[in-house]
Structure 1
Amino acid sequence: MRKPRDFDAELKALEDKARELKTRKVQQLGELVIATGADQLTTDELAGALVAIAETEDISKREAWAKRGMTFFESRSRRTAPASERNPRGAPAQPGSPQSPASDTGSQ
């Protein structure tokens, strides 16, 4: 006879995992703000810039920003990691960590 599924326990585990992923994402976004030097901006300036970027539908601008971001991360990885340990998307690879926030599409 099959053991009945504990839907409550499965739901709680999924909620815990979602909370952990959200916490990690928030931490990584904070690290990104600091790494780029954007922590020197006021909260209003940073929020305004992010709103402007999020509202931009010009594909060429978004591609230019993406290219600039990749260049930023590549130059940082060359300065901080030996060639054998470089992560071309930016953040140093950590066991069990997701990709850097820069690789996130930002759709939430």
Structure 2
Amino acid sequence: MLKNITITLTLIVITLLNGCATPSKLPRYSQTDGYQYIERKITDNYYMLEIISNSKATLHTNTLSQASVLTEQQGFDWYIIVEQHNTDNIKPPYKQHIEIRMGKGIKP
């Protein structure tokens, strides 16, 4: 009986310590020219961008601008928007999610 309790307690302690050792994977927003963004790499030429802006009027422009900057930083010539989601917020902050595929040479 004491052996079973010891094994159970050992497993609980190992589980708790393992949870503490795992770093948090929460995304961090970067700040630039009046908006914040997150870039998530899906593959070498496929990224997800999330843009947050206090201005609904500039949200789309900021999204396209950040996609262009990322494309250039990664050494690609062009990008296409594969998927796009807008958050219908009535008040700030406004969010837009896009997934882009980047390439070199002639754009399809």
Q: Which has the higher helix share?
A: 1
Task: Report the TM-score when normalising by structure 2.
Answer: 0.32
Larger Rg: 1 or 2? 2
Considering fraction of residues, name the structure with more strand: 2
Q: Give me the TM-score of the superposition, normalised by structure 1.
A: 0.32
Q: Which has the higher contact order (CA 8 A, sep 6+)?
A: 2
